[in-house]
Structures are given as C-alpha cells and as structure tokens.
Amino acid sequence: MGYRIVVAGATGNVGREMLNILEERQFPVDEIAVLASRRSQGTEVTFADKTLKIQDIEQFDFAGWDMALFAIGSDATKKFAPIAAAANCVVIDNSSLYRYDPDVPLIVPECNADAIHGYAKKNIIANPNCSTAQMVVALKPLHDRAKIKRVVVSTYQSVSGSGKDAMDELWDQTKAVYNPTSDVPPKVYTKEIAFNVIPHIDVFLDDGSTKEEWKMVAETKKIIDTKIKVTATCVRVPVFVGHSESINIEFEDFLDEDEARDILRQSPGIMVIDKREDGGYVTPKECVGDFATFISRIRQDSTVENGINLWCVSDNLRKGAALNAVQIAETLGREVLKKG
C-alpha cells in the first residue's frame, strides 16, 4: 500500500524534478495528481511509464490525498496550502512562505528529521532555501562534534535558482556576445549575467544585506542552532545548474581538518572529493543530476583559533529543492503516516 501524492507546479523546473525523483527513489506511490495554473491545464508530463495531464489547481479537491508537494511560489501557496491542509493533505512547501513560521517545521532530513512531528500544528512542512539546504548538510555533523560559533559563507548560485526565464536569459546573452548584431538586455537580472557575476539575489534590506542572505542566516539558526552566527554574501554566476559555496567555519572547540574530513565522509547525504591536486575537487557542472552534496578543499584556517574552510557544491534543483522535498515526504511516511 502506497501514498496518494499531489505535485503542484508540475510544469516548472522544480515540479518536473520532483516527479523524476519520486520515480528514481521508488517512492511508494499508489496514485499521483499533477497540478498547475489554469493556463497549463491539459499539458502532459511524464511520471514513470505514465503520461499525466495537468489539472487546474483552482478546481482540485485535496480530500483523500496524503501529501502535496508544492512548487508554485509564495503567492499561490498562500491561497492553496491552507485549502490542502484543511483537507488533511500534508503540504510540503518549497516556497519561502512558511519557513519562518514557528508552527511549521523547516526540515533538512539529514539535519533535523525529528522536527517532522511538528507538522500536525498546521499540516504544513517547509522546505528550506536552496543555498541553505546544502550548507546545513555540511555544517550539522561538524556542529555535533565541535559546536559552531560562526559561519562566513559566500555563494556562487546558478541561474536555475531564478527559473526557466533566467536560464533562457543566460543562454541568449551568451550567444549574443558572439553575434555583434544581437543585443539581449537584462530582464530577469539587474545586469547582464553572461560572462559576469552579480552580487545581488532577492531584494535589498535596510541593513544592506539581501533577503537571500537573510534567509541563510535565519534558516540555519532554525534548522541547526539559534546560537550560530552566520554572515552571507550571495552571488549569481553564469552557471545553468548547481550552486557552489565557500564556507568558513569557526568552532568553540578545536577540530582538525583530517577529523573534519572523516566526519563528513561518514555523514548522510555527503560525498567528499578532496584531493590536493589538479582537478581534485568538484565543480557545479559535475554535480548536476546527483543527489549528494559534495565537499572539497577542506583545510585548517590558521587566522582564527578553531577554524575550517571548505568548498560545498550541490545540484540546486535536487538537494536545494526537489530532492529535499521528496526526502521530507519519505521521512513523513516512515515516521508518521506509515503506509508505504
């Protein structure tokens, strides 16, 4: 006996990836419904060996469905998540809407799977921001050993984090560089993204940080430990898929780089590729399509008393979004619903 699953936003990058991962991980699905806005009604998507037709989310009845994986953005989630939750369909939401709600658990299963039991307050579980998800997978096992005081992170985030239009903009601008008669002005981004980096993701806040940077701070505290100090600089780079992060960690206790490497090698969801030679590290291009969070360049930071530097790379459409949502669904099924 399996689950009746809804995927809302099934025509988007993340929604399609959710369908792929449900199939790849052989999630116990009895029945699946795919939803999107009315303009996508009737569009076909594939799941396993089936062709599914998109249904209009406005007309969908969530009663009798076990879980709904939402990838529809905050505005639509605000309308439809309470409807699904009221019908006793547990919502696993990929938007930022509920991440900071104290009555909604924010979960990365490798880090805080026990928080799953808090879902019942609203029948909603939040998926973290893509840049946070991969970072906390790396931080949590190290925090368990040596207690993290402070994290300084700089991100190198791919354009897929902004959706299909952003991927098209990078593609079109890149081609235009080689065609002197073409001009593709920025629309998704504030400046040209091709052959460039943009230190600006989401809106600016009063203190000069951006909302993306604030998200990494707030979500790390909620998922791991409220006492951890985090400062972030989030940057968009001309990469299609795969987020990278340079992470500097300061601990309360000394942690040797060799022990840190061993801890990470033994931790769930992590693949350590760390050879001190040409090519002995992972780049975003190499992580595309993989479930793992890859860690490289692990080394002592001698400028602080107890410091470690590392390089962290992950497929943002997978661990940063769709994979983590499916892992939450697996945890909910295993720990709470127990049908599959």
Residue ranges of domains in the chain, CATH in brackets: 3-127+321-336 (3.40.50.720), 131-158+197-314 (3.30.360.10)
Is 200 annotated in the active site? no
Residue 238 annotated as part of some ligand binding site = no
| Cβ 290 vs Cβ 270: under 8 Å | no
User: For the whole model, what pTM was predicted?
Assistant: 0.95
Residue 242 annotated as part of some ligand binding site = no
What is the spatial distance between Cα 38 and Cα 57, in angstroms, rounded to a whole number? 7
* Per annotation, catalytic residue among 130, 234, 287, 312: 130
pLDDT score recorded for residue 114: 97
- pLDDT surpassing 90 at residue 339: no
pLDDT score recorded for residue 340: 63
What is the spatial distance between Cα 138 and Cα 98, in angstroms, rounded to a whole number? 23
Average pLDDT over residues 191-213: 98
Mean predicted lDDT score pLDDT of the chain: 97
What is the spatial distance between Cα 336 and Cα 118, in angstroms, rounded to a whole number? 11
Q: How confident is the model at residue 323 (pLDDT cuts 50, 70, 90)?
A: very high
Cα distances (Å, whole numbers) of residue 230 to 69, 132, 144, 151, 169: 29, 11, 17, 5, 32
| Cβ 193 vs Cβ 186: under 8 Å | yes
| Cβ 24 vs Cβ 315: under 8 Å | no
What is the spatial distance between Cα 128 and Cα 133, in angstroms, rounded to a whole number? 6
Residue range 130-166, pLDDT digits in tens: 999 999 999 999 999 999 999 999 999 999 999 999 9
Cα distances (Å, whole numbers) of residue 316 to 115, 229, 283, 291: 23, 24, 13, 10
- pLDDT surpassing 90 at residue 201: yes
pLDDT score recorded for residue 181: 85
113: which 2 tokens?
A: 């799977």
Residue 94 annotated as part of some ligand binding site = no
Is 143 annotated in the active site? no
Q: How confident is the model at residue 278 (pLDDT cuts 50, 70, 90)?
A: very high
Average pLDDT over residues 321-328: 97
Residue 160 annotated as part of some ligand binding site = yes
- Round the CA-based radius of gyration of the chain to a whole number and report it: 20
* Per annotation, catalytic residue among 89, 111, 234, 243: 243
Average pLDDT over residues 188-199: 98
Residue 316 annotated as part of some ligand binding site = yes
What is the spatial distance between Cα 104 and Cα 124, in angstroms, rounded to a whole number? 6
pLDDT score recorded for residue 87: 98
Residue 43 annotated as part of some ligand binding site = no
Average pLDDT over residues 15-33: 96
Residue 40 annotated as part of some ligand binding site = yes
Enumerate residues 6+ apart whose C-beta is below 8 A from 279.
none
- pLDDT surpassing 80 at residue 328: yes
Residue 99 annotated as part of some ligand binding site = yes
Enumerate residues 6+ apart whose C-beta is below 8 A from 30.
1, 2, 3, 4
